[in-house]
Amino acid sequence: MRTQVAIVGAGPSGLLLGQLLHRAGIEAVIIERQSAAHVLSRIRAGILEQTTVDTLHAAGVGERLRRESIVHDGINIVYDNQHHHIDVRKLTGAVVTAYGQTELTRDLMEARGAADLPTYYEVQDVRLEGLTSATPLVHFNQQGEPRRIECDYVAGCDGFHGVSRRSIPAGELREFERAYPFGWIGVLADVPPVSPHAVTYAHHARGFALCSMRSLSRSRYYVQCSSSDRVENWSDDRFWDELSRRLDTKTAGELITGPSIEKSIAPLRSYVAEPMRWGRLFLAGDAAHIVPPTGAKGLNLAVSDVRLLAAALVEHYRERSDAGIESYSSRALSRVWKVERFAWWATALLHTFPDTDDFGRRMQEAELATLTQLESASRGFAEHYAGLAF
């Protein structure tokens, strides 16, 4: 088959890119190694920056988001049994929006299906060929049958473990990584959020905790755990007890608990691959970078990649200009490293590290006091949390 852009990966990055290109009249085929049901079953982020919300509306998939999302105008910071509210709206004029990644993915899938656009799920043996030629090829098997896509460009939206980044020769790629000595155990439960219009981040000697939400009746909570821990070690009772211990007394008293409907452990790492373009292959989202989830930046950063890439491809096909294509990697990486810095800093500030000495703990306490008591520090945090301007 022949198309203009072959997109590898049908997660939110690939689907959003396909939708933006479709609305611009550019042909794209999407392939995905998992089933559609599996893609929808992934429990991921749920906090959207305003630029992400704007991009989804521009893609024509914002109607349910507009109806069902919940606006957050601030963020809570808990430490030393104290509860501090940072008013993001007041400090920046911006807000963030609570809307689960699963729902966002569903909206994009339904839009693609309604337009009858080609998407191939459960593909195997994906191989990219001729990425520096005028006509790259994407080979794959589906239901035991070999297939091939001829295209102008390939967009690698297939995540950290996908084939796209691995198709760049080792000598052409630089990788930067920081692994953290802990993970997050997360619980999804059909209980009202402890704070319906703000996310709560807690720093405690026992470890970090996070209170987030997916709706007014569904909550997502996390606690820091060992990187070698296992889900089986965490009963619901143990999880709720540990979460309560790490919150301030008032917030813990308002916490409503219930049976978990999903429970998983996520490792934390920072990772960046450079460049994000090689020949006619572009990397976007987790294929190019991973941020620790502190600050809820992963999905938003992926959307900013897609926004830049879609604009570059539209400029190429409509205006016959390759300026956006040539600058894609440098522009994307400029934003990536700023976001990586914020997520790295927030992770270092809020978590308990096994090798932190007394001096380091005092520095964390001083940094938290500065963040919550000095308006300029609160404003800087709020600006990064709400999302950097394009």
Which residue in this structure is represented by tokens 């906090």? 47
Q: What is the phi/psi pair of residue 296, to 5°?
A: 55, 55
Instruction: For residue 220, give the nearest of 45, 42, 12, 37 by alpha carbon.
Output: 45
Q: Which of 99, 180, 201, 328 is catalytic?
A: 201
Give the distance from CA 189 to its chain's centroid.
21
Q: Which of 12, 72, 79, 99 is catalytic?
A: 72
Q: How far apart are CA 39 and CA 16, in angstroms?
A: 14
Q: How far apart are CA 313 and CA 319, in angstroms?
A: 10
201 catalytic, yes or no? Answer: yes
CA Rg, the chain, in Å?
21
Which residue in this structure is represented by tokens 């088959």? 1
Strand order in the sheet with 5-8: 119-120, 28-31, 5-8, 153-156, 281-283, 277-278
Contact in structure between 157 and 7 (CB atoms under 8 Å) = yes
The distance in angstroms from the start CA to the end CA of the chain is: 36
**HEC secondary structure over 167-211:** CCCHHHCEEEEEEEEEEEEEEEECCCCCCCCEEEEECCCCCCEEE
Q: Which of 12, 222, 293, 351 is catalytic?
A: 293
By CB atoms closer than 10 A (0-12, 13-18, 19+), residue 306 is buried
**Upstream peptide bond of 275 is cis (omega within 30 degrees of 0):** yes
Structure tokens that stand for 301 in this block: 């950063």
Residue 177: C-alpha distances to residues 174, 221, 289 (Å): 10, 26, 9
Q: Which of 203, 204, 297, 351 is catalytic?
A: 297
Q: Which of 79, 99, 153, 385 is catalytic?
A: 385
Contact in structure between 212 and 75 (CB atoms under 8 Å) = no
Q: Looking only at Cα atoms, what is the longest distance across the chain?
A: 63
Task: Give the residue numbers annotated as catalytic, written as ranges.
Answer: 72, 201, 293, 297, 385
